[in-house]
Amino acid sequence: MSNYIVLVKQVPDVSQITDNAFDPETGTLVRSRLASVINELDAQALAFANKMRQDSGSTLSTTLKTGALTAGGKIIALSMGPPMAEEVLRYSLSRSADIVILLTDRALGGADTVATANPLAFAIRKIVKEILKDDSDYYVITGMQSVDGDTAQVPAQIAEELGLPCIAYVTDAQFRNNHFEFTRIISGGSQTVAAKKLPAVITVAKYEYPLFATFSRTRWANKSFDPAQDGTQVIRWSASDINATHIGVTGSKTSVIRVFPPGKNTRKCQQISDAESLAKILVESFKTCGELVESSGNGQAGKNGQAQAPRYVLPNKRASLFNRNFEGTKKEQADYEILSGKLEELGITKINQIDDSSKEKILEAAGEHFHKKALEDMIEGFKLAKPSFEGEVWVVAEHSDGVVHPATFELEGRARELADSLETKVGVVVAGNNIEPMAKELIAAGADNIYIIEDKLLEVFDPTAHRKAIADAISTYWPQIVLYAATPQGRMLAPMVSYRVSCGLTADCTGLDIRDSSRKGDIGLLLQTRPALGGNVMATIRTKNSRSQMATARPGVMKRIPPDPSRKGKIIRHKVKLTEDDVNLEIIKTELGSGEVNFNADVIVSGGKGMQSRDNYERLMGLLCEALRKKLDIQVERGASRAAVEQGFIERVHQVGQTGTSIGPKLYVALGISGAIQHMIGVANTETIVAINSDPNAPIFKQCDYYIVGTVEDIVPKLVKELESR
């Protein structure tokens, strides 16, 4: 009978952000000013573990009166955090956990995902040894990601540390033939898989059947935490209890350089009161769409709200050694501006001309901007010209049935720019079976070298086998940068590979730039910018203690370069020894969208779960698409949210979003769609977004240009009538 180790995390409540939660000086969100709650997906993971326990036929293992545990079917909740994180364990105990463990120690603070996954994996080893008595029949169940980190890297890295299979983005589990089959989200559809052997790590993407605390369990949970009671179900461990190898700041492989507010939203977010006005706006805005491109774009001011930075040039290619325009932070850049200005004024062109008297003059000019130590560091930094990292810029290709995922081409576009700046080559690594025909297209999209890892065992994506192949190629050729698409597959593969080759990884980047930090001895670093805390802040991150810098990048953000079929590239075949044991998942069923859809249409009208039924979807879509087609004399196509597809309103091929298709029409009309990030990623390049939703607080209203609060049943027929009468 399986046991379940559930990872639960206390996170800031980003759904309840008040104005005073923002720092008035920096404009960034102050985490400590937010209330703390259990990470919603971890609460779902706890409920999911409970469902698995029930479905597999084991009864609740804890005897509430005595706290005694039966042999199997235990749910053990594990949390790492400050002492106050105890609250999420109380929550767990009062729902379904039998034992709760808090891993708490100051030394564990300030950790990135590696230094979080590592101690958690060591704690799991200790649980298995001491509580499960080395019984390997267990699952580690976690939420797909936490709202504060948003990386989805920790579970995969725990799996890597423990050498376990990982099944990510799970939405359901069925107990059949004495084992569990899991349904999970994949690009373009869904898949049913089973772990060939246990233990296994499962990450839950959605399980909306919450557990409620009963009165008796709550009493029992509170009693367990009472210091006067000898509650054996509450265990506290410190760092020295688990002997992890990577903890806290020193064990981390990435560090945050800068946190800043997200770019100003350039969507209009204008509420429209009635269908008549909306019809007018639809027609007008469609006519002026071309003109709106510059102002609307992807809804962000410039890239991430920043002005486009000039392209990086290596120090030895700059007009002067004193040109340090490419320093990492704004403050550093400002310091160098003062310094180089003064050096110019003093007529100094070589480092050895900087003597004590010139240093004094420089410090006088610098005032409070920098002092002696910083000046000495900057002068030392001038001697640096050699990049800190060496090797090519790589993209890990994602493909299915011989078709390259569009996000791979986008990454190649950015990799080309980065590689040109760093004066190196672009490599694309492809793992699979019969993959060589893809090389031509990958070269045309910007690659110099294609690394082919061909093996029958790599025919379909199995995280364990693929991460072994990719990691082997990386640790043979050591590229300086490795980019993966932030798709479900990339977000699964990248953390496993990076952990395996001991390199830092930043998730879901929306900006990748090259900068120096020469005062700290770094030249040509990859700065990785990403949204954090549910998109409420942006963070720029750098890699440390690693031979290669790695990032997953959000699809639809980087730009593909126009394919050039005349480009020449080299194919390098890389052999990796794989056996059946490297394939950990049994793939039972894959459901992918098929059929034709014209997402190049000027207008896409999409329906979400709020369309209520297939009939409603058919009727209202038919009416609105036809009215727009006639009125504007353009092509109109139907789209849908993932939830609408899962409800059976329309075929999978119509799904828009992260795991559907990314689109960029002139006009996007969203009917009964809430505006989840995974959906909105897919419409980021749309010129005008219009939303109709009955919930006045629907998140989509903050991400669209025009919206009406109302039901689709009420608004759509009125809108159609107005369009027809104009």
Ligand X SMILES: Cc1cc2nc3c(=O)[nH]c(=O)nc-3n(C[C@H](O)[C@H](O)[C@H](O)COP(=O)(O)OP(=O)(O)OC[C@H]3O[C@@H](n4cnc5c(N)ncnc54)[C@H](O)[C@@H]3O)c2cc1C
Q: Which of residues 453 and 557 has its CB atom nearest to ligand X in the complex? A: 557
Nearest approach in angstroms of CB 714 to ligand X is 8
Cα–Cα distance between 147 and 429 in angstroms, integer?
Answer: 31
In angstroms, give the least distance from the CB of 615 to ligand X. Answer: 13
Query: Cβ closer to ligand X: 328 or 555?
Result: 555
CB of 623 to ligand X, least distance (A): 14
The answer to whether 233 and 68 are in contact (CB under 8 A) is no
CA–CA gap between residue 471 and residue 482 (Å, rounded): 11
Q: State which residue, 467 or 679, has the beta carbon closest to ligand X.
A: 679
Beta carbon nearer to ligand X, 62 or 703: 703
CA 51 to CA 54: how far, in whole Å? 5
The tokens of 306 are what? 């920043």
- Write phi, then psi, for 442 (nearest 5 degrees): -70, -35
Least distance between ligand X and beta carbon 303 (Å): 23
Query: Shortest Cβ distance from residue 180 to ligand X (Å)?
Result: 19
Residue 684, φ and ψ in degrees, nearest 5: -60, -30
Taking the least distance from each CB to ligand X, the nearer of 415 and 645 is 645
Cβ neighbours of residue 606 closer than 8 Å, sequence gap 6 or more: 638, 639, 640, 641, 644, 656, 668, 669, 670, 671, 673
Task: Report the residue number, 416 or 679, with the smaller CB distance to ligand X.
Answer: 679
For helices 463-477 and 488-500, the axis angle rounded to 10 degrees is 50
Does residue 690 sit in helix, strand or coil? strand
Smallest distance, ligand X to C-beta of residue 662, A: 9
The torsion angles phi and psi of 181, rounded to 5 degrees, stand at -115, 130
Smallest gap from residue 716 Cβ to ligand X (A): 9
Q: What is the dihedral sign for C-alpha 218, 222, 224, 228? A: negative
Q: Which two tokens stand for residue 70?
A: 């039966």
Q: Which of 489, 585, 551 is nearest to 201 (CA)?
A: 585
* Phi/psi-derived region of residue 391, left when phi > 0, alpha when psi is between -120 and 50, beta in every other case: left
For 285, 303, 703, the CA distances from 298, given in Å and listed in that order, are 16, 9, 10
CB 672, min distance to ligand X, A? 4
Q: Which residues pair with 195 in a beta bridge?
A: 585
Here the tokens at position 350 are: 């070589």
d(CA 343, CA 324): 13
Q: Which is nearer to ligand X, 302 or 593 (CB)?
A: 593
> What's the min distance (Å) between Cβ of 679 and ligand X?
3
CB 254 within 8 A of CB 543: yes
Q: Are 311 and 417 in contact (CB under 8 A)?
A: yes
- Residue among 219 and 702 whose Cβ is closer to ligand X: 702
Nearer to ligand X, 189 or 248 (CB): 189
How many Cβ atoms sit within 10 Å of the Cβ of residue 423? 12
Report the C-alpha gap between 189 and 659 in whole angstroms. 7
- Shortest separation between residue 193's beta carbon and ligand X, angstroms: 15
> CB 15 → ligand X: shortest distance, Å?
14
Which positions touch ligand X (CB under 6 A)?
Answer: 144, 169, 185, 205, 488, 608-610, 612, 641-644, 655-660, 672-674, 676, 678-679, 682, 692-695, 698, 711-713
Confirm if 639 and 605 have CB atoms less than 8 A apart.
yes
Nearer to ligand X, 90 or 267 (CB): 267
344: left (phi over 0), alpha (psi -120 to 50) or beta: alpha
Shortest approach of ligand X to residue 612 CB, angstroms? 6
User: Residue 697 Cβ, how far from ligand X at the closest point, in Å?
Assistant: 9
Q: Compare residues 541 and 673 and give the one whose CB is closer to ligand X.
A: 673
Give the full edge-to-edge strand order of the sheet including 138-143.
234-237, 99-103, 75-80, 3-7, 138-143, 200-204, 166-176, 179-186, 189-195, 585-592
Rounded least distance, CB 169 to ligand X, Å: 5
The smaller minimum CB distance to ligand X, of residues 257 and 656, is found at 656
Query: Whole-number minimum distance, CB 100 to ligand X, in Å?
Result: 27
Whose Cβ is closer to ligand X: residue 333's or residue 711's?
A: 711
Measured from the CB atom, the residue of 110 and 593 that comes closer to ligand X is 593
Amino acid at 415: A
Using the minimum distance from each CB to ligand X, give the nearer residue, 224 or 655.
655
Interhelix angle for 330-345 vs 372-382, to 10°?
Answer: 80
What residues have CB less than 8 Å from 85, skipping those under 6 apart? 9, 10, 79, 102, 104
HEC states along 257-323?
EEEECCCCECCCCEECCCHHHHHHHHHHHHHCHHHHHHHHCCCECCECCECCCCCCCCHHHCCCCCC
Q: From the CB of 144, what's the least distance to ligand X, in Å? A: 6
Q: 């490297």: which residue's tokens?
A: 582
Q: Which is nearer to ligand X, 144 or 605 (CB)?
A: 144
User: What is d(CA 661, CA 351) in angstroms, rounded to the nearest whole number?
Assistant: 54
